[in-house]
């Protein structure tokens, strides 16, 4: 009650400050890489590094980038519209944090990965990386949905993107781990970061908004738009930054298989655990995606189609069971209020994905990959040329632990920051309610409409 949720000065201030910082930092640091640079591409051609425009990385990755882009903005955005009175916040705040996040991620990831002669050189792969990084913020947002202000989200995004990039650097560069679809860097990190933040921000009186924590018929359909675009484009997600050729091709097939299997076991488990065998939309909206999360690391490896089916089938069960038993347990016993159930969809399947990746890497043989193929697939070159698959598997496993540790420690710190009292978060009774931060349309008009215009009224809108 006492809390002030007025965003009048705070939100504009943070947005403008953040954006000005981006402009300055981009001005100082960010340039096109040679494949996007007019002079640079001319030089590449003149030097014979490429023989045709079609060899520009753009044509290998842009279709996948666009699919990933849809997943971040429509996929995550609409997936979270299932709440009956938080559709604007779901899709709108997701839009806001992702739009800021990609800019900051281009910088952070650029400093770590494509920093040359004082400049960050960006191209299509940088944009995919930025979208991936922001994906982990969207995941964390899922735990906090309806309980935080947009200012809190922008601050969280700033810190989470930073921590994501550090963690990613440790995994990909220091541990030399493979994680093309981000089971560890995106899902495990994003989920446990978000869960820790929500635990720190625990609200003991959230029960009073129980009615608003449910869906309505059409909000569930909006949410299915998100689900389906995530599901359909996940093969692009897991293959977007894999090596050209067979690796991208294989990652798509493995993900496709895993996702298909996942749907059947989700339906089976949902029906089994509900009274009268009815299906629960929450399970269909979420658990059908677990198969994509769980092959995030291994999809580009020789996981094989039937391996993918097994992983997907298991994860459909795990995630659905999580929604039925683990989410309520976390909320009541551990004070982790996980609005969207990200622990079920990203936490557990992310960990499984890390383990599957470590195992698949450890089991790799020259027979499967070819001598040259094995070196290429795991980049066993330079100072890593002495690595064997088994050792690689060990490093992969270490990557899971590092991601988890970074998420828990980072989440605790960032949660503490977000608890500061001047960020305008809603009171408990105002959670999950759009009209705190949005102009919600239609009050008077629609009443008027119902009363005076009965001639034209239809089944909707009143």
Confirm or reject binding of residue 36 to a second copy (CB under 8 A).
yes
Confirm or reject binding of residue 145 to a second copy (CB under 8 A).
no
**Residue placing its CB nearer to a second copy in the complex, 90 or 200:** 90
**Residue placing its CB nearer to a second copy in the complex, 81 or 403:** 81
115 alpha carbon, distance to own chain's centre: 25
Rounded to whole angstroms, how far apart are CA atoms 3 and 14? 19
Instruction: State which of positions 95-124 bind a second copy (CB under 8 A).
Output: 95-96, 99-100, 102-103, 106, 122-124
What are the φ/ψ torsions at residue 335 (nearest 5 degrees)? 55, 35
Span near a second copy by CB under 8 A; candidates 162-170, 264-272, 352-360, 414-422: 264-272
Per DSSP, 200 falls in state H
Task: Single out the residue of 332, 405, 416, 462 in contact with a second copy (rule: CB under 8 A).
Answer: 462
Residue showing tokens 């976390």: 330
Residue showing tokens 């809190």: 152
Per DSSP, 229 falls in state H
- Residue 192 CB neighbour total at 10 angstroms: 27
Q: Which of 214, 211, 228 has its CA nearest to residue 284?
A: 228
**Residue placing its CB nearer to a second copy in the complex, 192 or 256:** 256
Helices 124-144 and 57-70 pack at an angle, to 10 degrees, of 10
Q: Which of 29, 53, 30 has its CA nearest to residue 41?
A: 53
Residues 6+ apart with CB under 8 A from 27: none
Rounded to whole angstroms, how far apart are CA atoms 290 and 300? 17
Confirm or reject binding of residue 21 to a second copy (CB under 8 A).
no
**Residue placing its CB nearer to a second copy in the complex, 245 or 328:** 245
- State how far the alpha carbon of 339 is from the alpha carbons of 199, 329, 413, in Å: 12, 13, 21
Confirm or reject binding of residue 294 to a second copy (CB under 8 A).
no
Task: Single out the residue of 260, 362, 363, 413 in contact with a second copy (rule: CB under 8 A).
Answer: 260
Rounded to whole angstroms, how far apart are CA atoms 294 and 290? 6
Confirm or reject binding of residue 84 to a second copy (CB under 8 A).
yes
Per-residue buried b or exposed e for 290-314, using 16+ beta carbons within 10 Å of the residue's own CB: bbbbbbbbbbbbbbbeebbbbbbbb
Q: Which of 82, 138, 87 has its CA nearest to residue 283?
A: 82
Span near a second copy by CB under 8 A; candidates 33-41, 140-148, 391-399, 406-414: 33-41
Span near a second copy by CB under 8 A; candidates 186-194, 344-352, 390-398, 443-451: 443-451
Confirm or reject binding of residue 2 to a second copy (CB under 8 A).
no
Confirm or reject binding of residue 429 to a second copy (CB under 8 A).
no
Q: Are strands 30-32 and 119-122 parallel, antiparallel or unpaired?
A: parallel
Task: Single out the residue of 267, 363, 412, 417 in contact with a second copy (rule: CB under 8 A).
Answer: 267
Confirm or reject binding of residue 309 to a second copy (CB under 8 A).
yes
Output the smallest distance, CB 409 to a second copy, in A: 29
Confirm or reject binding of residue 369 to a second copy (CB under 8 A).
yes
Instruction: State which of positions 192-251 bind a second copy (CB under 8 A).
Output: 210-212, 214-218, 220-222, 224-225, 228-229, 231-233, 235-236, 244-250
Confirm or reject binding of residue 179 to a second copy (CB under 8 A).
no
**Residue placing its CB nearer to a second copy in the complex, 13 or 174:** 13
Confirm or reject binding of residue 85 to a second copy (CB under 8 A).
yes
- State how far the alpha carbon of 113 is from the alpha carbons of 170, 182, 331, in Å: 11, 16, 39
For residues 449 and 461, the answer to whether their CB atoms sit within 8 Å is: yes
Instruction: State which of positions 327-366 bind a second copy (CB under 8 A).
Output: none
Adjacent-strand bridge partners of 116: 119
Q: Are strands 115-116 and 30-32 parallel, antiparallel or unpaired?
A: unpaired
Confirm or reject binding of residue 383 to a second copy (CB under 8 A).
no
Instruction: State which of positions 37-66 bind a second copy (CB under 8 A).
Output: 37-43, 52-60, 62-64, 66
**Residue placing its CB nearer to a second copy in the complex, 259 or 355:** 259
Output the smallest distance, CB 402 to a second copy, in A: 27
Confirm or reject binding of residue 304 to a second copy (CB under 8 A).
yes
Q: Site for a second copy (CB under 8 A): how many residues?
A: 155
**Residue placing its CB nearer to a second copy in the complex, 147 or 250:** 250
Q: Which of 127, 96, 100, 94 has its CA nearest to residue 113?
A: 127
Task: Single out the residue of 111, 166, 203, 274 in contact with a second copy (rule: CB under 8 A).
Answer: 274
**Residue placing its CB nearer to a second copy in the complex, 17 or 409:** 17
């Amino acid at each position: 009650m006492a809390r002030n949720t007025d965003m009048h000065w705070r939100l504009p201030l943070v947005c403008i400050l953040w954006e000005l910082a981006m402009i300055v930092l981009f001005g100082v640091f960010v340039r096109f890489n040679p494949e996007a640079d007019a002079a640079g591409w001319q030089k590449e051609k003149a030097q014979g590094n490429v023989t045709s425009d079609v060899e520009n990385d753009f044509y290998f990755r842009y279709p996948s980038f666009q699919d990933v882009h849809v997943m971040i903005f429509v996929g995550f955005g609409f997936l979270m519209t299932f709440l009956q009175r938080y559709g604007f916040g779901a899709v709108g705040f997701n839009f806001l944090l992702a739009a800021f996040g990609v800019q900051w991620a281009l910088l952070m990831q650029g400093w770590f990965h494509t920093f040359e002669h004082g400049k960050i050189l960006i191209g299509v792969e940088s944009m995919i990386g930025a979208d991936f990084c922001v994906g982990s913020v969207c995941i964390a947002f899922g735990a906090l949905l309806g309980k935080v202000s947009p200012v809190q989200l922008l601050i969280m995004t700033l810190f989470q993107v930073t921590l994501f990039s550090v963690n990613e650097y440790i995994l990909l560069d220091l541990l030399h781990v493979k994680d093309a679809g981000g089971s560890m860097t995106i899902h495990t990190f994003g989920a446990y970061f978000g869960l820790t933040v929500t635990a720190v921000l625990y609200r003991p009186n959230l029960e009073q908004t129980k009615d608003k924590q449910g869906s309505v018929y059409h909000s569930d359909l909006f949410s299915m738009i998100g689900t389906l675009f995530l599901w359909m484009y996940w093969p692009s997600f897991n293959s977007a930054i894999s090596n050209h050729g067979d690796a991208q091709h294989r990652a798509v097939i493995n993900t496709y298989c895993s996702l298909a299997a996942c749907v059947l076991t989700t339906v089976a488990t949902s029906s089994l655990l509900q009274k009268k065998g009815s299906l629960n939309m929450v399970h269909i909206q979420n658990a059908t995606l677990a198969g994509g999360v769980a092959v995030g690391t291994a999809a580009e490896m020789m996981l094989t189609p039937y391996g993918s089916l097994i992983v997907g089938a298991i994860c459909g069960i795990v995630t659905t069971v999580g929604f039925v038993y683990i989410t309520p347990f976390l909320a009541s016993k551990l004070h982790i209020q996980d609005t969207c159930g990200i622990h079920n969809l990203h936490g557990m399947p992310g960990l499984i994905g890390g383990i599957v990746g470590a195992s698949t890497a450890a089991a790799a043989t020259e027979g499967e990959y070819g001598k040259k193929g094995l070196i290429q697939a795991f980049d066993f070159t330079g100072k890593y040329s002495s690595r064997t698959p088994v050792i690689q598997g060990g490093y992969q496993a270490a990557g899971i632990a590092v991601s988890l540790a970074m998420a828990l420690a980072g989440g605790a710190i960032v949660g503490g920051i977000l608890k500061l009292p001047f960020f305008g978060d809603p009171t408990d009774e105002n959670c999950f309610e759009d009209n705190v931060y949005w102009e919600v349309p239609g009050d008077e008009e629609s009443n008027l409409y119902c009363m005076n215009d009965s001639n034209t009224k239809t089944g909707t809108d009143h």
